[in-house]
Amino acid sequence: MEREHLIKICREVLSINQNGSHTMPAPDLYPHQWLWDSCFIAIGLRHYDIERAKDEIMSLLEGQWSNGMIPHMIFDPSLNYGTDRDIWRSFMSPYSPDNLSTSGITQPPIIAEAIKKVGSKLNKSDAIKFYKQVLPKLFNHHQWLMSERDPHGEGLTLQIHPWETGLDNNPVWMEQLSEHSKPWWIVAIEKLHLDGIVNVLRRDTRHVAPGQRISNVEALVMFDMIRRFRRKNYDIIKILHRSLFCIEDIGFNSILARNNKILIELAEMARVKIPKELLDMIHRQADALKKSWDKQDGNFYSKDFITGQPLQNLTISSLLPLYSGVISQDQAQRLVDQIKNYKIFGLRHPIPSVPVNNKDFDPMRYWQGPTWVNTNWLIIDGLKQYGFSEIADDIIKKTIELVEYHGPYEYFSPVDGQPLGAANFSWTAALTIDLLSQ
């Protein structure tokens, strides 16, 4: 397929999925606005519609809570979203916006990256004006992440729900959920094999084969976590009190470290002073991420916030420190060796979300094996930072080929390239446009 024809297809997807000032990831499956989806979408839109790319960012910031949190979902008032709104009940927090309903958790903080990419397509004066407009909200979001979500001041931020990582059923989280967060009623449903009734309430399995999504038991446990947060009015102190587990996710913290660096760059370009307290937090977070390296087996791992112990389960999250830009060249080389190793991540259609040697590897099930364009994009960026241009170009080529042959699907099998999940998926379309422009 010719490059221009593929770009045309991707642009058509983004046009179809547009809903006012934001873009839906996939209308039937994901009808609202998602944080990191919109950031990736803006990165693609900037190549041909800069005003719409800016709108995507500004729409996200409208949903920001007064404490600084940018929620992972913002519900469009024009849609019939009553069920979703009632599940979250964001109004129970005094910090939630008065005029919008949102979720009560966040998602990987990649908005500084999106803002910088969008600004790079503006002339200098317009870019500075744009940065000055968004920086106060960006400062508040990063400060919230590194204060409320780092209660001990140790550097790494904690996540309270797997959805906050963006990698929903990542095996690291699923193990912890199964061990610590499965209430008696879910255990009973599982033992009695009654979990099939959950399909009646699930939107995703009405549009995508159940074998490609999270299990019903996993869905129930994730819902139960929301119910508990809601009961505690999304107050982090109450949520952490007697909490059996929280995770300092290595992927989330890698994205935060890189976007902290970008935040400093944006402030310097706009000549806006970063509060000293925030700057100290940024340095502390980067230092803590570097120390997450396991010297014995040469990997970065997420950490159990309660016990302080590393969760030694290798997934694509352990590769995301490449994107952070704060690790050493030797550490980056060790990660690249795993990407190239056919017994680990080096499959035919890279990069699987879970390595093939992981007992939980499933090439078709959501974040337990499939290849995703957004994580490829992040790792490609990291590879280029550390000078691994050849392997970065190879992954770009193979990623584009997947979309070229099958269309912009949500994810793909790393084994045979089979398209999976939702068709006409927005961030796949947007990031394909960006990869074609590199």
Q: What's residue 203's pLDDT? A: 62
Catalytic residue among 168, 204, 248, 362: 168
Q: Give the angle 293-325-287 at the CA atoms, nearest 5°.
A: 50
The domain tally of the chain equals 1
What pLDDT is recorded for position 181? 67
Q: List Cβ neighbours of 293 (8 Å cut-off, separation of 6 or more).
A: 299, 300, 327, 331
The whole-number average pLDDT for the span 47-76 is 97
Length of the chain: 438
The pLDDT of residue 211 is: 78
- High-pLDDT (> 70) share of the chain, %: 94
Across 284-294, average pLDDT: 96
pLDDT at residue 296 tops 90: no
Going by pLDDT thresholds of 50, 70 and 90, the confidence category of residue 28 is confident
Report pLDDT digits (tens) over 238-258: 999 877 789 999 999 999 999
- Give the pLDDT of residue 76: 83
Catalytic residue list contains 410: yes
* Minimum mean pLDDT range among 47-51, 128-132, 189-193, 297-301: 189-193
pLDDT tens, position by position, 377-396: 999 999 999 999 999 999 99
What's the confidence (pLDDT) of residue 383? 98
Whether 385 is covered by a domain: the verdict is: no
pLDDT mean across residues, the chain:
93
| Tokens 């010297």 sit on residue | 295
Task: With a cut of 90, say whether residue 231 has pLDDT above it.
Answer: yes
The confidence score (pLDDT) of residue 81 equals 63
The CATH code of the domain that includes 54 is: 1.50.10.10
Q: Is the pTM of this model over 0.85?
A: yes
pLDDT, residue 194, reads 57
* Distance separating alpha carbons of residues 168 and 84, to the nearest angstrom: 17
* Active-site residue, selected from the candidate residues 37, 49, 164, 410: 410
308: region left, alpha or beta (phi > 0 left; psi from -120 to 50 alpha): left
**Chain centroid to CA 142: how far?**
15
Residue 402 lies in a domain: no
Q: What is the pLDDT of residues 333-377, one digit of tens each?
A: 999 999 999 999 999 999 999 999 999 999 999 999 999 999 999
Residue 158 falls inside a structural domain: yes
What residues contact residue 215 under an 8 Å CB cut-off, 6+ apart? Answer: 169, 195
Q: Which of 76-80, 327-331, 367-371 is the least confident region?
A: 76-80
Residue 102 in any domain: the answer is yes
Domain assignment present for residue 284? The answer is yes
The distance of Cα 57 from the centroid of its chain, to the nearest Å, equals: 16
Supply the pLDDT for residue 83: 73
Mean pLDDT throughout 83-94? 89
Q: Which domain holds residue 239?
A: 17-350
| Res 215: pLDDT | 79
Q: So what's the pLDDT on residue 36? A: 97
**Percent above pLDDT 90 for the chain:** 81
**Mean pLDDT in residue range 121-145:** 98
Q: Is residue 94 part of a domain?
A: yes
Asked whether residue 113 is assigned to any structural domain, the reply reads yes
Q: What is the per-residue pLDDT across 152-204, written as a single tens digit (0 to 9) for each?
A: 999 999 999 999 999 999 999 989 887 776 775 566 666 766 556 666 555 66
Question: Is the residue at 206 inside a domain?
Answer: yes
Radius of gyration of the chain (CA): 20
CA dist., res. 64 & res. 85, Å (int): 16
Q: Is the per-residue pLDDT at 133 higher than 80?
A: yes
What pLDDT sits at residue 223?
87
The rounded distance, in Å, linking the Cα atoms of 84 and 101 is: 9
Hey, how many other C-beta atoms are within 10 angstroms of the C-beta on 21? 17
